[in-house]
Every structure is written in C-alpha cells, then in structure tokens.
C-alpha cells in the first residue's frame, strides 16, 4: 500500500517538452516512474526520450495510454487551463508543480472541480513520492527510503530536510506529499492526514506547516478526534514579520491571522508533538513511536 | 506591492468608485492650480506609502502630512513645505520618506463613516466583502471588541458579486433608503475593480456619507496578487521602488526572494519553507536573523554570487549562514558561487556553511580546497549554533 501513488501509477506529463518538464520527466523515469505519455499542444506524434509518445491533447493521451495520473509543468498563464483539461479527461490524480499561478485562476479551478472525483495536489509544490515505486515531482529521489512514515508539507526543501532526517536515522517513508505553498490549492493538510490515518502501511506521520491560512489548525482538530497514530509537526515562520509574503504566496501573517504561535498551540492542543526546531522533526516523531 | 493614494484614486475613477474630486501635483504651483479648480476647501496630502501621515513631522520641522486649506494660495504654500521634504511617521522609521507628490482633494463634511473591503478569503476559496458601520477606526479593534458590527458577504467564485448582495451590504451599513442605490453601485464597482485587477485586497476606510448626501471613498489600501502582475502591466508600472527597501529592490533584479530584517545574522537558503525555518532556528539559538533570502530551487552560480554580495553589503551583518539542501540545486554550484563571491568581495565576517543533498561531496571538496576561512557545519542545529556563536 501507500498513499495515492504506487507502482501501478501510469503517469502523463503535461508540458513534457519544456525545459523543466523534460528535465524532471527524465529524472522521474530514471527513478522508475512509469511515464506513459506526454502532452504538448502542437507536438503530437513526437517521442520523448525515444520512448514516451507525445500527444496534442490530454483526452487523446488518456485514451491511447490509460494514464491515471498527471504531472503539470505548464507555465503559469496556461496552467489553470491544463488542470481543467486533465480533469475533463477523467484523470483522477493531478499533480501541479507550476509555481506562480494567479490566485484568481486557482479560485476558478477549485470551483470548477467541486463535486468531481479528482484529487489535485499543488500547485507550487514539489510533488508526491512513494519511495522505490513512483516519484511524481521535483524532489531528489535518492534521499527517500521505503518505509512506514508519512510526510505532509507545504514546502519543498523543508520536506527534503525531514525526509533526510528520517532516512539517515534508518526510518523509511510510506509516501511523502508536498501540498504546495499557494493560498488556494488542492489537497489540504487535513485531507492528507486522513489518507495517512487510513493507510494500513503508514504507522505515523510528520506534518510540516508554515505561517498563513488556517489549514494546520483544521488538520489538528481532525487529528484530535480521528487519528490514533503518532503525529509530529513543525511550523515554519515563527520569526517572520507580519504582512510580508515569505517567498510562498501563501506564507503571510495578515490581520493577525495565520501566526505560527496559533498553529503550534492548535497542534499541542490536539496532542501532536511539535518540534522546537526544524533540526528535530524526525527525532520528535521517533520519540512517539512505541 | 503597495501603491500611492493618488494612484488608488485613479484606479477608483477608472472603475467608477466615487471619490472626492482631486488631482496629484509635483510642484507648489500645480498644487495651487489643482486647488483653484476645486470649489470650496481642499485637503493637501503628502504621498508616501506609510500610514500615520497626519500626525507625522517633516525633517524641516513642518508639522503634519495632511492639511486642510481655505484658499488655493494656502494649498500652494502647504505643498511647498511638503514637496522635496522628508516625512517621518510612526510607520516610516526615523529615516522617514521623501515626499515627491501631493494629492490635492476636495474637503468633504462627513456625516457618517463606514468600513468596506473586498478580500480573497483562503478558507472559503472565494472573495468576501467585509463591511462595518464602524468606519474610520482600526478594523482589527472592531473585530476584537464588537465582532457583531462586522458583516461578511461571500462572493460566488464563478458568478461574481450580485446586485442584491451589494444592496444587502449597503442596507446593513445602516445607510438611509435613498442612499442605498448609490452605495450598492459603489460596492459593485469596487468588486469589479478587485476582480479585474487581480487584487488580493482592496480596503476603503473610511467610506463616508457626506453632509451633502454623497457616498464617497475617502482612503484606500490595495494589495495585488504578485503572481498575476504579468497580465496587468499598467498596475505593475505603479510600483514605486523609492518606497521599498533598497536591498529588496536590488535582490529582485536578480530574481532573488529577499526580505530585510533588523538582526545581525545573514542567511542564504534554498526554498521558502527552509528559509523561514532557518530564521526560526537562528532565533532559537539566541541570534537575530538579518534577512529572509530564498535563492530558489534552481539558482545559477551568478545568482548565488549576487545573493552573497547583497548579504555582505548590509553593515549590520556580523555573520553569515548558508544553508542549502540540494535537490534540483546542486551543492557544487552553490559552493562555486560562494567561492566566487568571497573572492571578489573581501569577506570580513565569519561564514558558516551547511550543505546537504545532491553533489554534497563535490561541494564540500570545493569549499575545503578554496582556502577560504569557512566554518563547516554538520547539520541544521550545528550550523545555527555555530553562526550564533560567531556573530
């Protein structure tokens, strides 16, 4: 088992011929991800790395290859359209890596996806990986080890830090999910926590949040009532000045809301062990294990 | 990105959000002319981004950045005292801000004040119109002391704000019946502006009913979605680099994500989350970060060199921490950038480097072979402890 992706995942890449798209598609294939198709409008009929057929539309790619997940590298002005195209073609898992999509576009995408059976991860995220089975995204594959710890995070490199701490202490990961740093995005902390709680092959998980919004509080409230597995958390941005966007579009304390203090308090309230520093994310979780 | 009050007024004018008549001026003569074109009294307002202008003091001793004037000549004299002078308010810091424009606007007699804003609500993933009959005061205080005085009207993400909603909001403000149509029109225009310009927030505080019966926006605050500026070149052009931290302006030229802070430990990190976490751990070990700096996922050697130069130009900096988790970014590229920068700018403060991830061995070898005086750190905690000790 694992969460959302495994060795049966048949991946499509939207924007496979672009600079980042081709670089990371290549890295995912080397890792062992089964990339069955690419889409770049106007480039249909080509082969990526002499092996992966490129199509003009997502619908055609799904029809021909049976792709059941997509990774999006399309530039920001066209990315919202690409997400809608993937949903329209019936792909159940959409991973949007693209950074810099306008909030208004994501608002409309989320409204359009309401009530449809599709999971969107991202945008502005590192992706999702089930070690040694399927890597969808831009994370360095080699730091991951197969195992039974889940990782959920809004940030890229901070996730790598947590994974590295786990792997170097001999603890592998079931699945690691980067949910993305934008204010309006797909899979939430709470939804990811639900997936790991339900997964029989995940024993415990780390939740990495940051300032801005209220998702960490919502996840904490859900965990308090529904999750018996050990959970550790870290919240980045305790020292961030209010009103400033800290790199991620969503990482901002505005109007006194979304502070690290409030999130840490909510986590503790829910019985979650909170790491005092980012250097102790793995240790904090491992101490909770039986 | 912030904009000036006169620019906000121009945006309001374009979208039909009613404001008092007025004009921006860059010389005392132009200010007097602008005042002459407006019947009755005028207000002359210094144009800087910071708040607290009315109670501010110019470095030439002139009191107040907002003045009521009876005549055009007086408006010209007031403008002469403001233009080219530096205004200090509680938000500008002691160095103040240079005033290069003044807004000359019709003075209105206020019958009542309200609060009105449209903002993007992340929790519900849609815009929300926030309104309150308690205007002209700090809305955070109203929210804390009298939350029932604030109404929130959600906007359907696909339909937009509907006229009935605008009327409902106007009625909720307690406006007289014969003013509801005018207020509803202003609210709809404000939402149209919010949506068309990809704002993340537009706030009018106060919205006023004048003794002459007009409903007008007296002041405005805008926030724009930076990710959407590519499709609004006219709004991107409103950016005033003179109002921003020069270090941040310099960093943005090289596509570096930099935010200046008051501490003395500079840090350079890849990734926004890890950069925030690095600031946090510096603080945890008793230090104060001098900045947030995210060099991004795939920075080039040149960007690293520039980042290093910007960090070392800050006179407050007593030590530097480089924390890189190489994913896409390779540790040897970072190492080469550090070596280039350290050689071209004579490094005078201690440098702690923590590298992990892709090509970490090559990176560490490069640094060790460079002959530079670098304090190597094993992990994040070790790095933070060492840099705090060195500062």
Residue A218: predicted pLDDT: 96
Structure tokens at A52: 């992966």
Looking at the DSSP assignment, which residues form a beta bridge with residue B221?
Answer: B203
Residues A77, B230: C-beta atoms closer than 8 Å: yes
A254-280 residue pLDDT tens: 777 899 999 999 999 999 999 999 999
Q: Which residues of chain A does B231 touch, with a Cβ-Cβ cutoff of 8 Å?
A: 77, 102
pLDDT band at B287 (very low <50, low <70, confident <90, very high): very high
Confidence check: pLDDT of A128 > 70: yes
Report the SS3 class of residue A62: helix
Cβ–Cβ contact A77 with B under 8 A: yes
Residues A183, B259: C-beta atoms closer than 8 Å: no
Largest CA distance in chain B: 80
Which positions ≥6 away from B245 have C-beta within 8 Å?
B259, B260
Residue B338: predicted pLDDT: 86
Residues A210, B274: C-beta atoms closer than 8 Å: no
Q: Which residues of chain A does B158 touch, with a Cβ-Cβ cutoff of 8 Å?
A: 108, 111-112
Residue A6: predicted pLDDT: 95
CB B127 within 8 A of CB B118: yes
Q: Which residue of A has its CA nearest to B294?
A: A247
Which of B271, B277, B328 to mutate: most A Cβ within 10 Å? B277
A209-222 residue pLDDT tens: 999 999 999 999 99
Q: Name the phi and psi angles at B382, rounded to 5.
A: -60, -45
Confidence check: pLDDT of A21 > 90: yes
Residues A279, B274: C-beta atoms closer than 8 Å: no
Taking the C-alpha atoms of residue A54 and residue A48, their distance in angstroms, rounded to an integer, is 7
Confidence check: pLDDT of B347 > 90: no
Which of A21, A28, A135, A157 to mutate: most B Cβ within 10 Å? A157
Residue A189: predicted pLDDT: 97
Q: Which residues of A participate in catalysis according to the annotation?
A: 248
Tell me the helix, strand and coil percentages in chain A, rounded to 5. Answer: 35, 20, 45
Q: How many CB atoms lie under 10 A from the CB of residue B230?
A: 14
Q: Which of A104, A110, A251 sits opposite B276 (nearest CB)?
A: A251
**Comparing A60-69, B182-191, B246-255, which segment has the lowest mean pLDDT?**
B246-255
- Looking at residue B50, what DSSP letter applies? S
What's the sign of the alpha-carbon dihedral B234, A105, A11, A193? positive
Q: Is the peptide bond before A107 cis (omega within 30 degrees of 0)?
A: no
Looking at the DSSP assignment, which residues form a beta bridge with residue A95?
Answer: A71, A121
Q: Which residues of chain B does A250 touch, with a Cβ-Cβ cutoff of 8 Å?
A: 122
Taking the C-alpha atoms of residue A93 and residue A72, their distance in angstroms, rounded to an integer, is 11
B121-151 residue pLDDT tens: 999 999 999 999 998 888 888 888 888 999 9
Active-site residue flag, B115: yes
Residues A239, B225: C-beta atoms closer than 8 Å: no
Q: Judge if ipTM > 0.90.
A: yes
Q: Which of B123, B280, B357 sits opposite A239 (nearest CB)?
A: B280
pLDDT band at A206 (very low <50, low <70, confident <90, very high): very high
Residue A58: predicted pLDDT: 98
Residue B156: predicted pLDDT: 97
The residue among B373, B263, B281 whose CA lies nearest residue B318 is B263
Overall average pLDDT of the B200-221 stretch: 94
Residue A1: predicted pLDDT: 60
Which positions ≥6 away from B383 have C-beta within 8 Å?
B321, B323, B352, B353, B354, B377
Q: Specify the pairing of strand B102-106 against strand B42-46.
A: antiparallel
Cβ–Cβ contact A164 with B under 8 A: yes
How long is chain A?
290
**How open is the CA angle B100-B244-B286, to the nearest 5 degrees?**
140
Residue B299: predicted pLDDT: 72
Structure tokens at A83: 């997400």
pLDDT band at B63 (very low <50, low <70, confident <90, very high): very high
Q: Which residue of A has its CA nearest to B273?
A: A155
How many angstroms separate the Cα of B219 from the Cα of each of A151, A243, B96, B116?
46, 19, 21, 11
pLDDT band at A38 (very low <50, low <70, confident <90, very high): very high
Overall average pLDDT of the B235-256 stretch: 89
Report the SS3 class of residue B115: strand
């Amino acid at each position: 088992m694992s969460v959302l992706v495994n060795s049966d995942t048949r991946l499509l890449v939207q924007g496979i011929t672009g600079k980042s798209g081709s670089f990371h598609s290549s890295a995912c294939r080397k890792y062992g991800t089964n990339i069955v198709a690419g889409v770049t409008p106007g480039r249909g009929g080509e082969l990526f790395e002499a092996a992966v057929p490129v199509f003009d539309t997502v619908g055609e790619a799904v029809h021909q290859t049976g792709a059941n997940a997509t990774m999006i590298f399309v530039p920001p002005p066209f990315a919202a359209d690409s997400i809608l195209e993937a949903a329209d073609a019936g792909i159940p898992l959409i991973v949007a890596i693209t950074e810099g999509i306008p909030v208004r576009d994501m608002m409309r995408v989320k409204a359009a996806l309401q009530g449809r059976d599709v999971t969107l991860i991202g945008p502005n995220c590192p992706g999702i990986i089930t070690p040694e089975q399927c890597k969808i995204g831009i994370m360095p594959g080699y730091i991951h080890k197969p195992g039974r710890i889940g990782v959920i995070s809004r940030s890229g490199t901070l996730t790598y830090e947590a994974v590295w701490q786990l792997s170097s202490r001999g603890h592998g990961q079931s699945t690691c999910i980067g949910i993305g740093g934008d204010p309006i995005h797909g899979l939430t902390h709470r939804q990811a926590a639900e997936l790991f709680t339900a997964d029989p092959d995940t024993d415990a998980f780390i939740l990495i949040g940051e300032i801005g919004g209220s998702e960490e509080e919502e996840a904490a409230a859900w965990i308090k009532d529904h999750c018996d597995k050990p959970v550790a958390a870290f919240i980045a941005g305790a020292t961030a000045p209010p009103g400033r966007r800290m790199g991620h579009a969503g990482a901002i304390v505005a109007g006194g809301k979304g502070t690290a203090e409030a999130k840490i308090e909510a986590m503790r309230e829910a019985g979650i062990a909170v790491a005092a520093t980012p250097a102790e994310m793995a240790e904090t979780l491992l101490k909770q294990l039986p | 990105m912030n904009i000036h009050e006169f620019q906000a007024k121009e945006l309001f004018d374009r979208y039909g959000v009613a404001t008092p008549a007025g004009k921006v001026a860059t010389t005392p003569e132009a200010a007097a002319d602008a005042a002459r074109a407006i019947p009755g009294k005028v207000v002359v307002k210094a144009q800087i981004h910071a708040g607290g202008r009315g109670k501010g003091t110019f470095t030439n001793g002139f009191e107040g950045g907002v003045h009521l004037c009876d005549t055009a000549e007086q408006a010209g004299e007031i403008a002469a005292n403001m233009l080219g002078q530096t205004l200090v308010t509680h938000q500008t810091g002691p160095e103040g801000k240079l005033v290069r424009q003044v807004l000359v606007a019709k003075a209105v007699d206020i019958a009542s004040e309200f609060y009105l804003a449209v903002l993007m609500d992340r929790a519900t993933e849609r815009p929300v119109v926030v309104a309150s009959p308690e205007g002209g005061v700090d809305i955070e205080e109203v929210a804390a002391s009298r939350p029932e005085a604030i109404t929130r009207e959600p906007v359907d993400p696909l339909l937009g704000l509907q006229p009935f909603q605008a009327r409902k909001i106007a009625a909720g403000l307690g406006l007289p019946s014969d003013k509801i149509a005018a207020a509803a029109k202003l609210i709809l225009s404000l939402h149209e502006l919010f949506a068309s310009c990809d704002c993340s927030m537009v706030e009018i505080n106060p919205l006023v009913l004048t003794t002459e019966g007009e409903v007008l926006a007296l002041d405005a605050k805008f926030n724009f979605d930076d990710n959407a500026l590519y499709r609004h070149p006219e709004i991107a052009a409103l950016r005033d680099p003179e109002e921003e931290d020069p270090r941040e302006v310099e960093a943005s030229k090289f596509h570096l994500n930099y935010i200046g802070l008051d501490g003395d430990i500079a840090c350079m990190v890849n990734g926004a989350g890890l950069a925030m976490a690095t600031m946090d751990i510096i603080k945890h070990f008793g230090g104060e970060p001098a900045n947030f700096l995210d060099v991004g996922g795939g920075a080039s050697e040149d960007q690293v060199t520039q980042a290093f130069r910007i960090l070392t130009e800050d006179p407050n900096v007593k030590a530097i921490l480089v924390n890189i988790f190489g994913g896409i970014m390779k540790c040897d590229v970072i190492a080469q950038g550090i070596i280039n920068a350290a050689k071209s700018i004579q490094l005078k403060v201690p440098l702690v480097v923590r590298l992990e991830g892709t090509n970490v061995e090559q990176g560490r070898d490069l640094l060790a072979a460079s002959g530079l005086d670098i304090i190597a750190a094993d992990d994040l905690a070790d790095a933070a402890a060492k840099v705090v000790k060195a500062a």
